[in-house]
Structure 1
């Protein structure tokens, strides 16, 4: 028997995002307002017919809208919040968290936002320029990261413009020269490679008075190309980016500038790797990063990041997640084409071999992992070089890519691996919410758990607890 879909919270959120009354949305769907009210209150399941009408009327991706991944991600985020010791005495159970996430997503988001502000210690009077917007209590990088992830790192408007432009530029392998010509002919901008001393610590800078884009001589070739594409994106897609910024309503100028930069970065990658061509090549080469780097003149990180953006309705790629860390374990990038199986507030599980990539520099390290909810993922870790190498910024970074095990057979790096019988490593989110008992890497017991430590008995885990 097919599982009934109760999607009331998502329907209500979609309606409010579009600024519609129930009567207006009901008319678009060809149903009565009372029936829509029943759907929103989960008193009726959403049928296949309703889903199809949603797709037609509101350009909704049915797969994403009806999937459990979005609500699971919200519930996992809330689980991290309520794992904080300040809530230990409340003994908030998993079922209560699921109910809050599913039935009151706006309240769940509000709780998460407030907790994030508390963690970041920004519950101080707003700075001038924030215009009284309490959302500014969250740091710009957190706000932008959450905004991008809420849209599964896919922006159709930028994709369409970049695909048109990228296709017109010619051979992607030598795209740097067409990009440079486009900047010169359309916008009167010269591109010049200069010494790092002239840039005073910047990797690139645009002088609007001189119509000059300066790129550091220390940038690697692929990053020089990306830098040109980035500047062209700022100019070429200014109207599109302005509309996206206005619709996003960032809380302050700092956040707006960071989101502006993120949109331009997104468009630059889409110009270098136009959606249709890139997806076709990715499928042809079984998502081989090295083959795609050679095909599009990009580097490993650029291709890996592009994997996470392939969410076009009707032409989706494999929904990858991606992390980038430094040798100390600091996470500097975190993107996902669908749900992300790791902690929002903490680092990564030490049992995931993303960290081991630093001991195998230049090699591809694969691993099958299983999260506490029973989901399995195929992951790839490898080191990358920084975009610009100086005495202060030298050294390696590591990226981790992963996808649900159901897609692994499509990957070049999974060929030859018996996915049915290969060893699986149990991993978890941050220790404070990880329910795994026998873990030698555990740094702290999960919040609210009762320790089972006894002086006459030592266990594998340094913090045994009562499940």
Structure 2
């Protein structure tokens, strides 16, 4: 199993606030620089053993408190749980939750455990998709062992100097005695790829575009050559049923395939050199925007981190069919519903265009985000929009953010669906927020469909 780094930014902030210390003062007591402490508090650097020992000696810190923090996902994990409609009438804010976690981390952990195990109250409890996604989130969608193995395989294939499809085909032929055959649609009407061991063929549908062909070949290679790594990672996850484990493993094979097409070191350098210029990156690595968006959420290698992106895929009804938070902690992958003011929806009407937008998410921390969306077509011309985003404060170096103001007063306010959004005066509102009391004025009518209070 790869060693997981320990991120404890919230715990350090709580200790510093409890002791009424500035970052400079606390850094001095920990014998580190203020800038390094700032990175640790923002979860951009893991907590080292040396800093942990300083915490124990200087602040009488109990390391077991981190177990509670990790198990609930810190303050963001508590905020997500408190967004449940069962608590909507309590109006508990983030500051109260921060104080609760600081004062009673184990009680907070007990609450989170009870919430998560309340099976009758939530259909998600036994949902294999939810279980698989939670396992991915625990790793922040970064699997260093798979990245290392894929990078080694890419070096062996010399993907930087050869056509990717040709290199993958040759690998399958030489190492696994498998040929690649493209078959007509009528023979494979419902399949993209099939492994026929009797004929020693990897069969692909003729309907696949080149980037999808390459990805399918890379997934097939992953299933043949990365099985040990994938099964080792999956063995460390706790699933209630085998379906969730299989979904998780399918994600890991796709992860290896993407890492093979976009090897970590070369891909990160290209991102930094081009200022994350998505059109250039698509062409340089011969991938689709959806494949690129997936890969952007995985750049968490210690010492070589990229920008912390999230990605999601939506259909025309605003339903999320994919969502990965990566290291972003973005609330935009945890929606109760999609906000019509978020211009991901505009991308359906403008296929092929890049839709960049600065948004401010009501009630969320962090609240300000820079997002980029574009429409895409799936199998049999299924229509989706893929969106990626990063905190606005980090977006200044991005090519698609050039010329845009990243100050908060220019941002579009949005919510996480009308049921979760308590912004007033929104003319796009279709439902009142959960737990709100509706108000009626017989003397007049407002421009918005609902007037409400918090009680």
**Residue aligned with 1:445, SS:** coil
Q: How does 1:24-43 map to 2 (within 5 A)?
A: 38-40=61-63
Match of 1:365 in 2: 355
* 1:193 counterpart = 2:192: no
Q: 1:162 aligns with which of 150, 153, 161?
A: 150
Q: Within 5 A, what are the aligned runs for 1:205-284?
A: 205-284=194-273
1:442 aligns to 2:422 (yes or no):
no
The runs of 5 or more residues in structure 1 that have no matched partner are 9-24, 47-64, 123-136
3-state SS, counterpart of residue 198 of structure 1: coil
SS in 1 for 2:212: helix
Q: Is the 8 A contact 2:147 2:264 kept in 1?
A: yes
| Aligned partner (choices 368, 371, 375) of residue 379 of structure 1 | 371
Alpha-carbon distance in 2 for matches of 1:421, 1:427 = 13
Post-superposition offset of 1:382: 1.0
2:335 and 2:97 mapped to 1: Cα distance? 17
Give the equivalent residue in structure 2 for 1:423. 410
- CA distance in structure 1 between the partners assigned to 2:238 and 2:195 by the alignment: 26
Secondary structure of 1:465 counterpart: strand
- TM-fit CA distance, 1:5: 2.7
> In the alignment, does 2:77 pair up with 1:74?
yes
Change (3 A) 1:191 1:101: farther
Asked if the contact 2:56/2:62 (under 8 Å) is kept, the reply is no
- TM-superposed CA distance for 1:178, in Å, is 0.9
In 2: Cα distance, 1:212 partner to 1:452 partner: 67
In 2, are the aligned partners of 1:117 and 1:138 still within 8 Å (CA)? no
Distance (whole Å) between structure 1 residues aligned to residue 213 and residue 352 of structure 2: 22
Q: Deviations over 1:41-66 (max 9, x none)?
A: 87xxx9xxxxxxxxxxxxxxxxxx99
Provide the rounded CA distance (Å) in 2 between the counterparts of 1:177 and 1:343: 36
Question: For residue 20 of structure 2, what is the aligned residue in structure 1?
Answer: none
Q: State the superposition RMSD in angstroms.
A: 3.2
Residue 209 and residue 336 in structure 1: after superposition, are their counterparts in 2 closer, same or farther (change >3 A)? same
2:322 corresponds, among 323, 333, 337, to 333
Map of 1:93 onto structure 2? 92
Deviations 1:375-399 (A, max 9, x none): 211111111121x33xxxx242111
Which of the pair has the greater relative contact order for Cα pairs under 8 Å at 6+ separation?
A: 1
Q: 1:401 — aligned with what? A: 388
**Distance of 2:358 and 2:158 partners within structure 1:** 39
Select 2:128's aligned residue among 140, 147, 152.
140
Instruction: Look up the match of 1:58.
Output: none
Alpha-carbon deviation of 1:239?
0.8
Secondary structure class of the residue paired with 2:62: helix
Q: CA deviation at 1:97?
A: 4.6
- Using the alignment, how far apart are the partners of 1:251 and 1:221 within structure 2? 38
Count matched residues.
403
The separation in 1 between residues aligned to 2:240 and 2:410, in whole angstroms, is: 46
The alpha carbon displacement at 1:447 in A equals 2.6
Query: Structure 1 residues 195, 73: closer, same or farther in 2, change over 3 A?
Result: farther
**Which deviates more from structure 2 when the two are superposed, residues 238-247 or residues 456-465?**
456-465
For 1:59, the equivalent position in structure 2 comes to none
Deviation at 1:79, TM superposition (A): 2.5
Q: CA deviation at 1:116?
A: 7.2
| Residue 112 (structure 1) shift | 4.6
Task: Go from structure 1 to structure 2 and tell me whether the alpha carbon gap of 1:404 and 1:422 turns closer, same or farther (over 3 Å shift).
Answer: same
Counterpart CA distance in 2 for 1:434 and 1:159 is 39
- Alpha-carbon distance change, 355 to 112 in structure 1, aligned in 2, over 3 angstroms: farther
Q: Classify 1:458/1:203 alpha carbon distance in 2 versus 1 (closer, same or farther; 3 Å).
A: same
Task: Kindly indicate whether the alpha-carbon contact (under 8 Å) linking 2:289 and 2:386 is maintained by their aligned counterparts in 1.
Answer: no
SS of residue paired to 2:373: strand
Following TM superposition, by how much is the alpha carbon of 1:202 offset from its aligned partner in structure 2, in angstroms?
1.6
Deviation at 1:72, TM superposition (A): 3.9
State TM-score, norm by structure 1: 0.78
Structure 2's unaligned 5+ residue stretches are: 1-10, 17-47
**1:16 alignment counterpart:** none
